[in-house]
């Protein structure tokens, strides 16, 4: 997380059962909309040099059916005209307009609803005909495209055993960014050695460094998959990740969503959001691409226009009208709260621990009750935001290094939990989350939650922030969530995550003081380019990791501020922008990127942007 609140922190989490509507595809609208997609975002992998078919085995039954801030600079592209400073009333009005639009919207069905595509290779076993030291076959199916399998020679064959017959609907491949030009042939089998070549993956040209996808025919089933790669230069071809996507009933019940706290401000400031040429607001656009929750933050008394109770209640009405669940992140501060800042609200200053606990309980009860009274009860609440170092400093501050301050923090957290439970309507399920920020560090995460359990703090959900540019590799995140599930036996949510779609700074006026959270190549994770395709593969790998957490305890993921495009600053004032504009799921002008499909099957998302050509790559 950033080390100053002014650079705008990320926030929360999500969870619970999915709520989806079945829609009929509007094919004419879909075809027309595809024409409007920026051509620069679509790269089609062409035909490669011919390669021989795979050796070994015989033809069998076909499996196919018939933190620092980077430098600020002027935005790329034409700046959008925006209105005056947004007031709280304007934000509330904008949220209410969104609610009416969501309730009244009669869509023709595009895009069709779909569950996430889960990479079943992650739970399989890999073998290869050769492997370099440090590049074993298992690296190709570990969920991290930054770790490679590298054969010893110019040609190599990787074989995956899924352990059982699986329904498959797509394949994904990421080569090492330094890989030479290469061809591949992919085969599937239901029984050992009974290989059938994938029709669209013979002599396939591979795109080094960019995630590439191939949809599979409906009802494809297989237990085994094999990819043979051949170099065009004589150098070995290293594969970062070989993905085998398929449906997973458990994954379809994940809590999936985004933190849309900025949506009312963006709409009030005049932002125009579109999805393949169709106007909409971020609530309905994310819903139409598989989101079933919305996370919103709450400050006690923020600057005008930012997330106060009135604004959140209006946003909740829009979320409820869209048929989605509500995750509320209560910050217990007047403005940004994070591991570096947890300032007691001005109106609460001067209270001792006992008084402050009473205030926290009363305030939390009033807030939860206010949502319930308007018919939009909260489904999950986090008591504080990224509370690694406590809340309500200095009274609730902890020092993890010295292991002090935990008793006061526990008192305040218990008060918040009691207030939330008291304000929750009878018969409504409210999940309580404790939100920690070090999603890639098991040692720190385990110590934090163990302290809470030792002191009897009641909670239902472990919430983690995981930003790879702050918190380590995706392999470290996987190790953490797997260990936490075993250690504590509680559902786990990636409460905040993001990835860059460009390294350009979209703040629209020269001289703006705000740089981006991510602005240089060294902050980009190996195997995941700074592109919409990089976003799609990164979050897709996160979801597959969560879907295969031990004991089914991976419960969901929230993308932070997918809608925070240029025009709404992190704090009020002239010459101030947003540090987040290249981490969104919309471009600088509000057009949904292909990565808006992060909660869908990546292979199908890619094909939907270029339905006439496969395989495809979503470039930048």
Sign, CA torsion 263/266/272/274: negative
Whole-angstrom distance, CA of residue 176 vs CA of residue 578: 32
Instruction: Just give the CATH number of 118-246.
Output: 2.60.120.260
Across 84-98, 122-136, 250-264, 416-430, least confident range: 84-98
* Burial (CB count within 10 angstroms: exposed 0-12, middle 13-18, buried 19+), residue 346: exposed
If one counts every other C-beta atom within 10 angstroms of the C-beta of residue 579, the result is: 26
Confidence check: pLDDT of 426 > 50: yes
Q: Is the pLDDT of residue 603 over 70?
A: yes
pLDDT, mean of residues 18-41? 31
- Residue that wins the pLDDT comparison between 18 and 384: 384
Q: Note the CATH number of domain 5-24+76-104+256-589.
A: 3.20.20.80
Compute φ and ψ for 556, nearest 5 degrees: 165, 180
Q: What is the enclosing helix (H) or strand (E) of 439?
A: none
pLDDT tens profile 428-476: 999 999 999 999 999 999 999 999 999 999 999 999 999 999 999 999 9
* Residue 265 pLDDT > 50: yes
Give the start-to-end residue ranges of the domains of the chain: 5-24+76-104+256-589, 118-246
The stretch 402-415 carries a mean pLDDT of 98
Asked if residue 75 has pLDDT above 90, the reply is no
Task: Return mean pLDDT, the chain.
Answer: 85
Q: What are the CA-CA distances from residue 535 to residues 101, 562, 597 (Å)?
A: 29, 11, 10
The interaxial angle of helices 353-373 and 406-423, nearest 10 deg, is 30
- In angstroms, the CA 199 to CA 260 distance is 42
Peptide bond into 526 cis (omega under 30): no
Residue 344 pLDDT greater than 90, yes or no: yes
Lowest mean pLDDT: which of 3-17, 241-255, 355-369, 382-396?
3-17
Q: Is pLDDT at 54 greater than 60 in this prediction?
A: no
DSSP at 215:
E
The reported pLDDT for the residue numbered 107 is: 39
Report yes or no: 585 and 598 within 8 Å, Cβ to Cβ. Answer: yes
Closest CA to 583 of 70, 38, 37: 70
> Does residue 561 contact residue 262 with C-beta atoms inside 8 Å?
yes
CA angle 412, 413, 418 (to 5 degrees): 100
Tokens 């996430």 sit on residue: 116
Enumerate the H helices of 349-398 as residue ranges. Answer: 353-373
Structure tokens at 524: 């980009």
Least confident of 39-43, 141-145, 290-294, 414-418: 39-43
The residues annotated as belonging to the active site are: 386, 496
**DSSP conformational letter for 589:** T
- Give the pLDDT of residue 589: 95
CA–CA gap between residue 547 and residue 557 (Å, rounded): 10
- What's the pLDDT band for 509 if we cut at 50, 70, 90? low
How confident is the model over 204-262, as pLDDT tens digits? 988 888 999 999 988 999 999 999 999 989 999 999 999 999 999 888 899 999 999 99
> Model confidence at 60, in pLDDT bands (50, 70, 90)?
very low
For residue range 267-322, what is the model confidence (pLDDT) as tens digits? 999 999 999 999 999 999 999 999 999 999 999 999 999 999 999 999 999 999 99
Mean pLDDT is lowest, of 62-66, 328-332, 490-494, for: 62-66
Give the start-end residues of each E strand in 108-252: 118-119, 125-128, 155-175, 182-189, 194-197, 204-206, 212-231, 239-246
Contact 8, 570 (CB under 8 A): yes
Task: Return d(Cα 209, Cα 226) in angstroms, integer.
Answer: 20
Render pLDDT for 152-211 as a digit per residue (tens, 0 to 9).
999 999 999 999 999 999 999 999 999 998 999 999 999 999 999 988 888 898 888 899
**pLDDT surpassing 50 at residue 1:** no
Global confidence as pTM: 0.85
pLDDT of residue 352: 98
Strand, coil or helix: what is 241? strand
How many Cβ atoms are within 10 Å of 389's Cβ, its own excluded? 20
Evaluate if residue 70 carries a pLDDT over 60: no
Residue 426 per-residue DSSP state:
T
């Amino acid at each position: 997380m950033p080390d100053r609140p002014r650079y705008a922190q990320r926030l929360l989490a999500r969870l619970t059962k999915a709520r989806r509507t079945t829609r009929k595809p509007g094919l004419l609208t879909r075809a027309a909309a595809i024409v409007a997609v920026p051509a620069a975002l679509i790269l089609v992998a062409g035909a490669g040099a011919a390669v021989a078919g795979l050796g070994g085995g015989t033809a069998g039954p076909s499996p196919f059916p018939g933190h620092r801030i980077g430098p600020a600079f002027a935005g790329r592209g034409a700046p959008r005209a925006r209105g005056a400073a947004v007031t709280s009333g304007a934000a509330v009005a904008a949220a209410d307009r969104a609610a009416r639009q969501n309730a009244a919207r009669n869509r023709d069905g595009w895009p069709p609803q779909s569950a996430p595509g889960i990479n079943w290779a992650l739970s399989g076993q890999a073998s290869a005909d050769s492997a370099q030291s440090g590049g074993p076959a298992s690296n190709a199916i570990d969920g991290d495209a930054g770790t490679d399998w590298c054969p010893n020679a110019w040609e190599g064959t990787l074989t995956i055993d899924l352990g059982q017959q699986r329904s498959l609907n797509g394949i994904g491949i990421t080569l090492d960014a330094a890989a030479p030009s290469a061809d591949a042939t992919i085969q599937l089998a239901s029984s050992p050695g009974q290989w059938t070549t994938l029709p669209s993956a013979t002599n396939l040209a591979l795109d080094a460094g960019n995630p590439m996808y191939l949809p599979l025919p409906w009802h494809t089933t297989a237990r085994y998959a094999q990819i043979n790669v051949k170099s065009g230069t004589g150098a070995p071809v290293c594969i970062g990740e070989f993905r085998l996507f398929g449906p997973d009933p458990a994954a379809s019940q994940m809590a999936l969503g985004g933190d849309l706290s900025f949506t009312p401000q963006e709409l009030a400031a005049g932002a125009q959001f579109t999805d393949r040429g169709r106007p909409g607001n971020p609530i309905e656009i994310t819903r139409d691409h598989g989101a079933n929750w919305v996370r919103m933050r709450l400050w006690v008394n923020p600057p005008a226009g930012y997330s106060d109770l009135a604004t959140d209640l209006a946003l909740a009405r829009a979320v409820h009208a869209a048929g989605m669940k509500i995750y509320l992140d209560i910050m217990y501060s007047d403005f940004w709260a994070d591991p570096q800042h947890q300032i007691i609200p001005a109106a609460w200053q001067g209270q001792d621990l006992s008084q402050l606990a009473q205030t926290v309980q009363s305030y939390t009860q009033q807030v939860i009750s206010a949502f319930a009274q308007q018919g939009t009860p909260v489904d999950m609440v986090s008591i504080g935001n990224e509370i690694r170092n406590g809340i309500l400093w200095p009274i609730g501050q902890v020092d993890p290094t010295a292991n002090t301050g935990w008793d006061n923090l526990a008192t305040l957290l218990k008060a918040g939990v009691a207030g939330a439970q008291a304000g929750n309507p009878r018969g409504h399920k409210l999940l309580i989350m404790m939100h920690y920020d070090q999603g890639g560090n098991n040692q720190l995460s385990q110590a934090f939650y163990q302290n809470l359990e030792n002191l009897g703090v009641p909670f239902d959900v472990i919430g983690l922030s995981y930003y790879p540019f702050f918190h380590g590799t995706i392999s470290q995140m996987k190790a953490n969530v797997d260990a936490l599930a075993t250690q504590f036996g509680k559902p786990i949510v990636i409460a905040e995550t993001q990835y860059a779609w460009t390294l350009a700074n979209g703040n629209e006026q020269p001289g703006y003081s705000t740089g981006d959270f991510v602005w240089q190549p060294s902050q980009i994770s190996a195997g995941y380019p700074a592109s919409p395709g990089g976003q799609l593969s990164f979050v897709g790998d996160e979801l597959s990791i969560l879907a295969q957490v031990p004991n089914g305890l991976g419960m969901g993921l929230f993308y932070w501020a997918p809608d925070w495009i240029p025009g709404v600053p992190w704090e009020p004032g002239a010459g101030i922008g947003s540090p987040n504009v290249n981490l969104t799921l919309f471009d600088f002008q509000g057009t949904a990127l292909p990565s808006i499909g992060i909660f869908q099957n990546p292979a199908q998302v890619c094909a939907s942007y270029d339905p006439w050509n496969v395989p495809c790559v979503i470039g930048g």
